[in-house]
Amino acid sequence: MEKEKSVWVIGHKNPDTDSICAAIAYAELKNKAGKGRYEARRAGQINEESKYVLEHFGIPSPAYVSDVGAQVKDIEIRKTTGISSNLSLKTAWETMKAQNVVTLPITSGTGLLEGLIITGDIATSYMDVYDNRILAKARTQYKNIAETLEGEVLTGNAHGYFIKGKVVAATESPELMEEYIEDDDMVILGNRYEVQLCAIEMNASCIIVCSDAKVSRTIQKLAEDRGCVIITTPYDTYTVARLINQSMPVKYFMRRENLVTFETEEYVDDVREIMSKERHRDFPVLDEEGKYVGMISRRNLLNMKRKQIILVDHNEKTQAVDGIDGAEILEIIDHHRLGSLETISPVFFRNQPLGCTSTIIYQMYQEQGVEIPKNIAGLLCSAIISDTLMFRSPTCTQVDKQAAEALAELAGLVIEEHAKKMFQAGSNFGAKSAEEILFQDFKTFSAEEVEFGVGQLSAMSEEELQVVKKKLIPYIEQVRSERSLDMVYVMLTNILEESSELIFVGESAKEAAERAFHGHGLDRGDSLWLEGVVSRKKQLIPALMLALQEK
């Protein structure tokens, strides 16, 4: 029985503390409801503040997901059983009919894919004209020959191989047989004692006795002494001659080179493109170790089951995990402006003008009458402290503050002490690269065909922020170029002074920022000092959007 697939609860790229904590807490709430399985995931690296919070409350980091697009493992994979390369063409054909398939995988004893055989290959083996040494060239096993002829191996090693000689049908005259039978030949013959004796004495490696004719003990003893295999069959000589090529092993005809295979982790969009260029009907699927899993076809792509996702703390496509267009969004829980995400079908969408998504999650626990575990309460409280800059942000509402205080009591926290440790952990920039610093909280936006990115860093002192500024100014131009953005802004927020220094790159970036704040920002040459501005969501982004629309 297949394991039930989980619904992933996931925040935005470059996740902040709210994005991580909200995902964990909401997955916990959904699991307590008892309908399905829910797991928290993250769409980027965890910043130092979030690491501190998770470690403090003893909760492991959610698993990282780079792309939620449909993968091969999300398709219904047909479990066509692999067969051994030693099996006969006839057995392969019967297996195909029984399973109603046109392609069979050939697998090793350890499950590795060795090749493929399709109905066309078997048809070709029947129709082509081969010389009478083809069974030896194909190293055909005596057991296969007996099974194909619905007979039995009377003497000799059934697991041995016919590897030398040719296949001949004997005449009724021993004298004539001496002219064409050679050492190691396989001889098809009838019930005449002298003909059987002649074939054995001429060093045939195998004799096939037709029409269920009895073989005397003398002949059997002589065959055993000479190492000759005796196979008896109910078929007549003509039928045996017609059927015997079907005993050849599939490995002689299977396709080994240039096989088009897919791995379970590959994305469907890539698979679809490759399939469109190939004439094959079925394609083998391999696991991460290269072992055969099953078969898929173009038809399977129509019935694929998309990954089911719940988004928290964002509803902008540019901020969502890669591949979101190929996933099925079930719910969105957010506190930001309405963004650009589109869904295939109606979803549960809860968006409230609060300072933090985790405040909404707290409300949902209350509404559903679900007790909040102490560690989850700690996560939710930490997220509210982080997103509201300990209630200093203009996005903070009385609802956020009351939620944080109630959660702090549940978690046994003193808010001021906990906040100080969190912010200190988050502003420990000394050992980090410019890339690590910028992308711990970076989002992209679009307005009037202008694509821009905005990062935000918070610290308890101006000295820490100035160290960061020196690292970031040369790097953000590189980011702007690599990501094809028109502008990049970074807010360096001083928590205690409740103000931000805005650094920027890009043509017209400074002019747009000045328009956004109507010239009230203090011009520092390479930046603007914005008194009282600490919220990217409520103060910076709306002002920039409006300025870009009015340009």
- Look up the pTM and report it: 0.69
High-pLDDT (> 90) share of the chain, %: 65
For residue 33, is pLDDT > 90?
Answer: no
Q: Are 54 and 419 in contact (CB under 8 A)?
A: no
Classify domain 434-549 at the CATH superfamily level.
DHHA2 domain (3.10.310.20)
Contacts of 454 (CB under 8 A, 6+ apart): 442, 443, 444, 445, 488, 489, 490, 491, 536, 540, 541, 544
High-pLDDT (> 70) share of the chain, %: 98
Residue 522 has a pLDDT of 84
Quickly state the pLDDT bin for 551 (edges 50, 70, 90).
low
* Cα Rg of the chain, angstroms: 37
pLDDT single digits (tens) 260-287: 999 999 998 889 889 888 878 889 999 9
Domain ranges of the chain: 7-69+307-426, 89-252, 434-549
Neighbour tally for 276: CB within 10 Å:
8
For residue 310, is pLDDT > 90?
Answer: yes
DSSP alpha helices (H): ranges in 388-532?
Answer: 398-411, 415-426, 434-438, 462-482, 509-516
Quickly state the pLDDT bin for 35 (edges 50, 70, 90).
confident
Give strand pairing partners of 12: none
DSSP string, 319-349: GSPBTGGGSEEEEEEE-S---S---SS--EE
CATH number of 89-252: 3.40.1390.20
Pairing, β 167-169 against β 206-209:
unpaired
- Select from 337, 276, 333, 329 the least CA-distant residue to 301: 276
pLDDT single digits (tens) 187-244: 999 888 999 999 999 999 999 999 999 899 999 999 999 999 999 999 999 999 889 9
**Tokens, residue 424:** 């200190």
CA distance 448 to 432: 35
Residue type, 476: I
Q: Are 226 and 203 in contact (CB under 8 A)?
A: yes
Residue 533 has a pLDDT of 93
Quickly state the pLDDT bin for 3 (edges 50, 70, 90).
low
Q: Are 444 and 428 in contact (CB under 8 A)?
A: no
The overall average pLDDT reported for the chain is: 91
Q: Distance of CA 336 to CAs 7, 353, 375, Å? A: 23, 7, 26
Q: Distance of CA 277 to CAs 260, 281, 393, Å? A: 11, 11, 55
pLDDT single digits (tens) 330-369: 999 999 888 878 888 889 999 999 999 999 999 999 999 9
For residue 433, is pLDDT > 50?
Answer: yes
Residue 524 has a pLDDT of 83
CA distance 58 to 245: 68
For residue 159, is pLDDT > 90?
Answer: yes
Q: Are 522 and 551 in contact (CB under 8 A)?
A: no
Residue 1 has a pLDDT of 42
Q: Angle, to 10 degrees, between the axis of helix 415-426 and the axis of helix 48-56?
A: 140
Neighbour tally for 314: CB within 10 Å:
26
Q: Distance of CA 96 to CAs 103, 141, 256, Å? A: 7, 21, 19
Quickly state the pLDDT bin for 370 (edges 50, 70, 90).
very high
Pairing, β 206-209 against β 186-189:
parallel
For residue 132, is pLDDT > 90?
Answer: no
CA distance 404 to 390: 9
Q: Tell me if 7-69+307-426 shares its fold with 89-252.
A: no
Range of weakest confidence among 21-25, 306-310, 425-429: 425-429
Asked if the 7-69+307-426 domain carries CATH number 1.20.210.10, the reply is no
DSSP alpha helices (H): ranges in 427-508?
Answer: 434-438, 462-482
Quickly state the pLDDT bin for 147 (edges 50, 70, 90).
very high
